[in-house]
Amino acid sequence: MNKIDLAFAPALEQAQLIRQGEVSPLELVELYLERIQRLDSKVGSYFTVAAEQAIADAKAKTEQLSKSNSDLPPFFGVPIAIKDLNAVEGIHCTYGVNVLKDKIAAYDDGVVMRMKRAGFTILGKTATSELGSLPYSEAPGFPPTRNPWNLEYTAAGSSGGAAAAVAAGLSPIAQGSDAGGSIRGPAFCCGLVGIKPSRGRVTWAPVGDYQSGISTNGPIARTVADAAALLDVMSGYVTGDPYWLLAPQNSFIEAARQPPGQLRIAFATSLPPIGEAQMVCQQAVQETVQQLEGMGHIVEAGCPDFTGLIEPFIKIWQAGVAAVGIPKEALSPMNRWIVEQSGSAGEYLQAVSQMQIVARRVVMFFEAYDVLVLPTYMFPTIRVGEWADLNPEETLQKIISWIAPCPPFNASGLPAIAIPTGFDTNGLPVGVQLVGRPAAEATIIALAAQIEAAKPWSTNRPAIAL
């Protein structure tokens, strides 16, 4: 296998190659570090490359393999990238804030601990928007994150660095987080698979309740199986978590390998009060619907009523930025305005109550359906800096009109998976999201894998990465 093929090999395949002795953890880490050094100045996917730590860890694992390859954790020696909103002990953790560039984390987040126990070697910290608050990764004081498929365009956000790294072959797999589409949007823009798990599936330890449960950690990968396997690693209760789910009977990787059976599926290309998605995103849904009908699923038009969600969701988003406690003078004009708009504690609690009312309606919709197919975003990715000259109110309206299909499922806690379906006329990826019933990640993973098997996408590679 040549180096490019190895760099783009699925994480599960890399784990198997390590077990078979065909590649060592050190060889893999050195491969990715060389690619990062050569390509990331163009892409901007990493804030911090932890080269010394990664090499030391990979050398230790390679030495361990020389003695025994039994009882290895599932991803022993496989590299991974961690979003810079999550703490990794001994590595910079900036949250995309310029004044925090020198901050070193003193502990590991809960999901980071799980990934280390699974055997991953951490390459570094990936780029995000400032405080993770925006759907494009252009934090002041940091290079913008660019889409590997076309460097004039954004990789989206706030997990833009994670998606760009995987798409460019600068990491085989990555961790992200999603409070309003921040995994699904970058996956959509970069032609990848991204899972927003159900509320309570993945811990936010040591943090407790994070923005009233709208945010969660999740995987970004090139294949459904890789994403499912990383979700297996991430999942599970940590003592004190305010939300939790019982462990599924079977693993998510097993779900990716099993047919889903006949499902009742709804779809929509229009979201009131936003309106219709752009034609290329409508076509992605319609093509997916035709594919699902051909597979024998029962498919019909339908969508939950999202009326009344936008305003309370915005208030909760604004409060989350304000709650970080960084002086607003140290923030970008957009985040400074968000903090100023955040309102009182009473307004926040009213917003939470209203969001939960709408969320009940959304969840009730799934009493009649197993899966909902929607556009991931309402239109394809935007250019880097495209909205930079707009005032905050105008920027907010642009954001709402772009990411509208994603926040309802953060509000309701339902699982959703973004999958690629093709490319637009500019050569940029497009795709759809599959939304499932509460705690039913296994269903949407099985369905996504069925779609992937019929029309594989993981062999697609941007020209910059070759």
**Residue 244 φ/ψ, nearest 5 degrees:** -155, 155
**Is 270 a catalytic site residue?**
no
Contact 173, 141 (CB under 8 A): no
**Helix axis angle, 25-43 to 51-67, nearest 10°:** 160
Tell me which of 45, 171, 182, 342 is the catalytic residue: 182
Between CA 12 and CA 116 the distance in angstroms is 16
Helix (H, G, I), strand (E, B) or coil at 340: helix
Tell me how crowded residue 282 is: count the other CB atoms within 10 A of its CB: 16
Tell me which of 45, 61, 83, 116 is the catalytic residue: 83
Dihedral, CA atoms, 125, 129, 131, 132, nearest 10 degrees?
-90
**Is 70 a catalytic site residue?**
no
**Is 116 a catalytic site residue?**
no
Q: What totals of helices (H) and strands (E) does the chain contain, helices first?
A: 16, 15
DSSP state of 235: B
Contact 217, 202 (CB under 8 A): yes
Q: Which residues contact 351 (CB under 8 A, 6 or more apart)?
A: 311, 312, 313, 315, 316, 319
Tell me which of 158, 198, 235, 412 is the catalytic residue: 158
Residues involved in catalysis: 83, 158, 182
